[in-house]
Chain A
Amino acid sequence: GAVVSQHPSRVICKSGTSVKIECRSLDFQATTMFWYRQFPKQSLMLMATSNEGSKATYEQGVEKDKFLINHASLTLSTLTVTSAHPEDSSFYICSARVLSGNYGYTFGSGTRLTVV
């Protein structure tokens, strides 16, 4: 089946540094990827939609200069949290829509970011 590989699974960084999270579609081409953020015991909040070869579309209230998204190829999208602060600590998950079969969405395994 369609698999999205997300790395790293966990990362701890110091305040003020930047962290990059990668999502790769392993056996299909993902023209569109979605990035979500999840706080403890809450649901997933859509942050932005990334389209291959064009600028990402950010949801209202999400700082595009802080959460940089790059989707340079049909199999790779990256999210960079710049100048991280403790309040950025969260669980970040990427997703891609699978255009074959049942047209559902497949998700990465998530990245637990802790900013200290």
Chain B
Amino acid sequence: KQEVTQIPAALSVPEGENLVLNCSFTDSAIYNLQWFRQDPGKGLTSLLLIQSSQREQTSGRLNASLDKSSGRSTLYIAASQPGDSATYLCAVSGVWDSSASKIIFGSGTRLSIRP
């Protein structure tokens, strides 16, 4: 059974700092890994998608890495801003326990950037 864990559960840092969010998964047989952002009471916004054959993806101040063999991914946020405050979720997609592809989420990291 695939399980996704995110550490830390919550993080508060001052504006301007670089930070790293961690995600680990137990079954390395994944199609891809995706990082999302969720603002309170809102839906999900996709930030970065890494295919299983890739090792990293970058978008602006965000960089996500994937080490499939060790079951780990990191989301690096450079020069953090108060507007980055949100919950960050990682999710993996694949086929486990059934014939249907599904996406499994981690529990998220609640990030707060202090002005």
User: Cβ of A44 and Cβ of B105 under 8 Å apart?
Assistant: yes
- In the complex, how many residues of chain A place their beta carbon closer than 8 angstroms to a beta carbon of chain B? 24
Count of CB-CB pairs between chains A and B under 8 Å: 57
Contact with A along B15-41 (1 / 0, CB 8 A): 000000000000000011010100001
- In the complex, how many residues of chain B place their beta carbon closer than 8 angstroms to a beta carbon of chain A? 26
**CB of B93 within 8 Å of the partner chain:** yes
**CB of A73 within 8 Å of the partner chain:** no
Residues of chain B in range 76-115 having any CB-CB distance to chain A below 8 Å: 89, 91, 93, 98, 100-108, 110
Known contacts: A104-B46, A105-B103. The answer to whether A44 contacts B32 by CB under 8 A is: no
User: Cβ of A46 and Cβ of B104 under 8 Å apart?
Assistant: yes
In the assembled complex, the CB of A46 is this many whole angstroms from the nearest CB of chain B, namely 6
**CB of B63 within 8 Å of the partner chain:** no
Residues of chain A at the chain B interface (Cβ within 8 Å): 6, 32, 34, 41-44, 46, 49, 57, 91, 93, 95, 97, 102-110, 112
